[in-house]
Amino acid sequence: MKTLTQIVSLSAVSTLVDALPSTGVLIPRAPPSDFTPNPNVGPGGSRWKDSPHFRIYGATNDAVADRTIAMLEAAYNCFVDDLGWRSPGLSFRQDHDNGPWHKLNVYQLETLPGAAANTPTDLNRGLAWLNVAKTWMTEPGVVVHEFGHALTYSAGWWIDQYRTGAWWETVANFVADTYLTSPHCAPARAKYNQPEGNTIMELKKVIGDSFQVIVDGTVNTANHYQAFPFLTYLHNNPDQIQGLGTSIFPGVWTQYKRYSDETPLHVLERLIAPGGTKIQTVVAKYWARMAFVDINHPKAQTMWRSQRSQINYANLDNQGSGRWRVKSARRPRYMGANIIPLKTNGAVNVSVTVTVSGAGRLTPTLVVRQASGAVRYIEMVSGSGNVAVGNGEEAMLVVVNTPANLVLFDPFKLTAETNTGVDYTVQIVGATA
Ligand X SMILES: *[C@@H]1O[C@H](CO)[C@@H](O)[C@H](O)[C@H]1NC(C)=O
| Shortest Cβ 379–ligand X spacing (Å) | 19
Q: What value, to the nearest 5°, has the Cα angle with vertex 400 and ends 395 and 404?
A: 145
Q: How far is the CB of 348 from ligand X (least distance, A)?
A: 5
For the CB of residue 346, give the shortest distance to ligand X in the complex, in Å. 8
Which residue, judged by CB position, is nearest to ligand X in the bound state? 349
Q: How many CB atoms lie within 10 A of CB 71?
A: 22
CB of 428 to ligand X, least distance (A): 15
CB 215 within 8 A of CB 166: yes
Q: How far is the CB of 430 from ligand X (least distance, A)?
A: 8
Q: Could you write out the DSSP letters of every residue in 313-364?
A: ---EEEEETTEEEE-GGG---TT-EEEEEEB--SSEEEEEEEEE-SS--EEE
What are the C-alpha distances in Å from 148 to residues 88, 138, 278, 383, 431?
Answer: 10, 15, 28, 40, 44
Would you say 7 or 348 has its CB closer to ligand X? 348
> Would you say 331 and 399 are in contact if contact means Cβ atoms under 8 Å apart?
no
Q: Amino acid identity, residue 399?
A: V
Q: Which is nearer to ligand X, 43 or 390 (CB)?
A: 390
Interface residues with ligand X (CB under 6 A)?
347-349, 388
Q: How far is the CB of 363 from ligand X (least distance, A)?
A: 25
Task: Select from 100, 93, 75, 107 the least CA-distant residue to 154.
Answer: 93
Q: Among residues 347 and 374, whose Cβ is nearest to ligand X?
A: 347
CB nearer ligand X, residue 215 or residue 389: 389
β-sheet bridge partners, residue 396 = 341, 367
In terms of CB distance, is 44 or 390 closer to ligand X? 390
User: Is residue 102 within 8 Å of 37, Cβ to Cβ?
Assistant: yes
CB closer to ligand X, 374 vs 388:
388
